[in-house]
Amino acid sequence: MAVRQIVTLPNEVLRRKARKCTEFGEELQTLIEDMIETMRQAPGVGLAAPQVGVSERVIVVEYRDEEKEDIPPKLYALVNPEITRVSKETVSGTEGCLSLPGLLGDVERPGAVMVKGYSRRGQPVTIKAQGWLARIFQHEIDHLNGVLFVDRAQRVWKPESAEEAAAFD
């Protein structure tokens, strides 16, 4: 496992639609392990392969329910994820991004989503997510399509403190 460099704009890989993965071999397993380590070291709550310069449809997400602090965070590693359903209800929330350091934005997104994809070993996976977890999945899957949160934001700003910035990476 290795921490990879997180790419930032204007790197063109962030604006490119990522390729579907067709192989679930060692190269993919190494990429996923490196992405998990990189996300945790950053620290962040999610990371898409294009953010480490790899134009493939892979995301990792680590989520802890704030109301259940005694339960360890849940780690998701998804290959070829896609959002198949969204709620009609939308929620505005503040987002940041490891590939856009120093920026935050208010983004309106569906409050709940259904995500389908494959586990790191190629098994079909379906996840129903709501709230903050749904927002993270939407943010990371946007990366796979070359879309950044600033493209969807109603308002973008530079945080006033390092503490404010860290809260949304």
Residues acting as catalytic residues: 140
Look up tokens 């063109």; give the residue: 12
Contact 129, 45 (CB under 8 A): no
DSSP string for 115-161? EEEE-TTS-EEEEEEEHHHHHHHHHHHHHHTT--HHHHEEEEE--SS
Alpha-carbon distance of 103 to 28, in angstroms, equals 30
Alpha-carbon distance of 145 to 149, in angstroms, equals 12
CA distance between the termini of the chain: 22
Question: In this structure, how many other beta carbons lie within 10 angstroms of the beta carbon of residue 39?
Answer: 26
Contact 137, 81 (CB under 8 A): yes
What is the CB-side half-sphere exposure of residue 93 using CA atoms within 13 A? Answer: 18
